[in-house]
Amino acid sequence: MRSAPENSGRCLPPCSACGRETELFQLPGSKERDCFECSADVATTILLAAEIDAASKSGEDTGGLRAEGLQIGTRHLARAQSQ
């Protein structure tokens, strides 16, 4: 684990998703601690899944929601691979 910037006097743990060493957040009901970007992606993915399910049940088109989910997944993967 690398040290935080000088004068901060603390070490930062890595994000459980992408591995970056930064301030971490824990979503309610989750054991994982992720960076802000990964936490936001996970939360958005959870909401999208619920919206896709509701739209599917009501017979609505889910193409736009699924495309958004794919973009989030691609961004999340790219961030994890850059570490």
User: Tokens 């850059």 correspond to what residue?
Assistant: 82
- The residue extents of the domains of the chain are 36-81
Per-residue pLDDT tens digits for 53-79? 999 999 999 999 999 999 999 999 999
C-beta separation of 14 from 2 below 8 A: no
SS3 14: strand
| pLDDT at site 9 | 56
Per-residue pLDDT tens digits for 10-23? 688 999 999 999 99
